Amino acid sequence: MTMAAEWAEAVREGAYRRSTRHASLEEIGFIHLSDVEQLPRVAAFLYRDAGEPLVVLELDSDDMLASGAHLVWEDGGGEEFPHLYGQIELPWVVAAWPAGFGADGDFASPLI
């Protein structure tokens, strides 16, 4: 998940290099990912107050791993989360789904 503007910048630059909200891959060392079940909790925790359009990047993990990407499931506060040690290459992105929070405060995306 990311800000739509950050995704648009990644498309222009040829790769996505944000670790998480307000932090770059260079600052953190990996990109925080989540599986579809984790997504609503992560979105609420990190992006509820974003105030701008969001997108959920759906990645092809088979393509990612076949290319030699370093993907590791690691503890993130008592729960295992996938961490990508490197940038997200554009061909791995199956779709960039619009996302956001409804008037009821619930997270919504066509992906879930």
CATH number of the domain encompassing residue 19 = 3.20.170.20
Is pLDDT at 112 greater than 80 in this prediction? no
**In a domain? residue 112:** no
CA dist 56 → 3, 59, 68, 110 (Å): 9, 9, 23, 9
Render pLDDT for 46-77 as a digit per residue (tens, 0 to 9): 999 999 999 999 999 999 999 999 999 999 88
Tokens of 73: 């499931």
For 88, the domain range is: 2-105
What is the total count of domains within the chain?
1
Quote the pTM value: 0.92
The strand pair at 31-32 and 15-16 is best described as unpaired
